[in-house]
Amino acid sequence: METEGTFCITHAEEDSAVLKNVESGQVHTLSENPGVETGDVLTGTITTEPPLDVTWTLISVDERRSITLEQSDELPTTRERTLASQQEVGDITREERAGDGEIHVITVPHEDEDTSDESSTNEASEQNENEEMNKIDQIIQDVLDDDATLVRAARLGATRVEVRSDADTGVVSVRYLP
């Protein structure tokens, strides 16, 4: 049985690879690695291997590209911060970018800057700030490690995923870029 489509390489080892069809979500295990790496995106054709038809072989590649996932030092844009201010903590807004791609804005818990509790010390304030940074860093790492991020990027035609954050305002933006 042959299947044509766009496939994201979600796992690659020396002797095998796992592909995910970016449209159907179906997962296919290749019986051998044809030289692909995690993060590659292939548009092509795969077929099952007899007699059991449980593993697949890549029989043609029409297009191949890689997706780069990175954490940026840049702060979220003004537009992204505005979107975040209009939603509750834990919400996500998806919006098309001007041009190609898509932006996801996630609002996360953050430390309010207007704390008037006089009993708090600079040390406690610094500890809270470090905890907030650790939460933001964990969220960013979760986004970068999630196969769904890679698959979404492949489906959108992106070649780069950039994650920006601002711990002070509780904003994480995921930018799918051409």
109-133 per-position pLDDT tens digit = 876 544 444 445 555 555 555 565 6
Of 24, 44, 66, the residue at which a domain comes to its end is 66
What stretches of 98-164 show up as alpha helix (H) in DSSP? 122-145, 147-156
Do 117 and 155 lie in a common domain?
Answer: yes
Q: What is the pLDDT of residue 80?
A: 95
**42 and 124 assigned to the same domain:** no
User: How many domains is the chain built from?
Assistant: 2
* CA atoms 103, 143, 35, 45: torsion sign: negative
| Residues 114 and 94 grouped into a single domain | yes
Give per-residue pLDDT as tens, 85-106.
Answer: 999 999 999 999 888 899 999 9
47/108 same-domain check: no
Same domain, 119 and 167: yes
DSSP 8-class letter at 138: H
- Residue 29 domain boundaries: 2-66
The average pLDDT across 150-155 equals 94
Residues composing the chain: 178
Same-domain check for residues 145 and 98: yes
E strands of 49-90, at which residues?
Answer: 56-66, 68-71
Confidence of residue 61 (pLDDT cuts 50, 70, 90): very high
Rounded Cα distance, 12 and 135, in Å: 30
- 129-142 exposure pattern, b = at least 16 Cβ within 10 A, e = fewer: eeebeebbeebbee
Of 51, 66, 81, the position where a domain reaches its end is 66
